[in-house]
Structure 1
């Protein structure tokens, strides 16, 4: 008997990420975001963490062979329209995920290189970062670092001073990423400036109102929202634009679930929280050398 190829009614996104018991960040944040945007999320758990809204206490990587079994079992059964990567937990897991992705080069990959928690807890050491540069960046469709992550990923022994964001973006694209979206939440600017770079330089630059407070899982939300939009058929630029709008809304309607950071409300629209959230300025810019 020949089985009929599956044609799912919902876009399906496979997420490689670590568990967060608070559901503010990690794979739980990815699930909430993708479901909110009308996607069906699939998961391959990379690590267990002990954390809450105040910080990360410990990270316990899943064995690489178990991670691979999770992903390959799902991929053999279910069509996937996009990949999203978060915390991987170990060099062995970076290697395992890179090998899996190499078998599916046609599927877009959104890579959120989570190097530290919002509080600053270390989540990826230098050995993991080196493996990311070598094995994952060449397979990445869109990389979504914040400014500190971009600088750390792109740093060179020859740097005598901190490289600019533009230099970092150019280096990361030279390492293999097709596009790089560098977010400015950690920069000392009046508004949050997010910039999308391609091979020829700046594609779009958006400025957003800097909201008060600190948020747990904003980066996970943005990267997963982009992956969901791409899975639904959007172009990179449209996905970046729409996902920024969605993420800003989740933060604007965020809530204090515990004693630490605010948690983005990924289902704000179900509670009547939606409002116009166009970027303050910006959007399309002429392409220029980065």
Structure 2
């Protein structure tokens, strides 16, 4: 089950989540939290749905279909964040992947009110895995003096695992850092690709949720999701005039090329 906004480019949001989940062998149950107006350059506007409607969407599916994992992306408002946390809290045995979306890739805010306290107090305690980029990690733990301190802070709030992605860091390679059990676990280094990408965070968090839904333990699930996400970026295409969009169905087009 995915809680996220609709992105008309199809690069991020619910479509990105659904494509990633399908590619990793899962069916997506999309719960709409917000409608956005955006293109490949950035966000132009958004409207959050009413929190009661968000919760009703989720509970209707939870009473009808087996849900194997939750993934939370754009929530749109603090009221929606609260409603989502209340739903997830009722199903403690279902793993939850939290992508703490605070702003678009260009830096546009994705809520009319601050969400940091809500993520810290309501969603972190429910998170099997939280996947902030380095900017989000620093906003969520502003007192931290390092990314490791950010991760420790998020784990102290209840997140079992923390994966901090390093796209925004000034390093030659992209360094992603995984923490769990209150300690550093693994460092993943990837070649920094040229250009900018719209929807990479959605892709990563949803693919993590997909593999967790299939019963893999978290570290192996994260490794598989990182590999898949990097391949979608290597195959990214420029469908608009701004950021490139990850090709989450690259594997299908590779099969077509093999048949030609």
On whether the aligned pair clears a TM of 0.5, the verdict is yes
The residue aligned with 1:195 is 177
CA distance in 2, matches of 1:109, 1:242: 17
In structure 1, the gaps of 5 or more residues are: 1-13, 274-290
| 1:112 maps onto 2:99 in alignment | yes
1:199-218 equivalences under 5 Å are: 199-218=181-200
Could you list the structure 1 runs, at least 4 aligned residues long, displaced by more than 6 angstroms after superposition: none
Please, which of 166, 169, 192 is the counterpart of residue 184 of structure 1?
A: 166
CA distance in 2, matches of 1:191, 1:153: 24
Please, which of 15, 26, 30 is the counterpart of residue 17 of structure 2?
A: 30
Give, in angstroms, the shift of residue 127 of structure 1: 3.1
Asked whether the 8 Å contact 1:20–1:50 carries over to 2, the reply is yes
1:219-230 equivalences under 5 Å are: 219-230=201-212
The residue aligned with 1:249 is 231
Please, which of 81, 92, 97 is the counterpart of residue 84 of structure 2?
A: 97
Asked whether the 8 Å contact 2:77–2:113 carries over to 1, the reply is no
The residue aligned with 1:287 is none
Give, in angstroms, the shift of residue 56 of structure 1: 0.3
1:1-290 equivalences under 5 Å are: 14-124=1-111, 127-156=114-143, 163-272=145-254
CA distance in 2, matches of 1:45, 1:135: 19
CA distance in 2, matches of 1:134, 1:95: 10
Instruction: Report how many residues are paired.
Output: 256
Give, in angstroms, the shift of residue 204 of structure 1: 1.2
TM (norm. structure 2) is 0.96
Asked whether the 8 Å contact 1:154–1:172 carries over to 2, the reply is yes
Report the RMSD for the aligned CA atoms in angstroms.
1.3
The structure with the largest alpha-carbon Rg is 1
CA distance in 2, matches of 1:204, 1:97: 30
Asked whether the 8 Å contact 2:102–2:115 carries over to 1, the reply is no
CA distance in 2, matches of 1:250, 1:176: 31
- Secondary structure of the corresponding residue to residue 33 of structure 2: strand
Asked whether the 8 Å contact 2:237–2:246 carries over to 1, the reply is yes
Q: Deviations over 1:240-260 (max 9, x none)?
A: 100000000000000001010
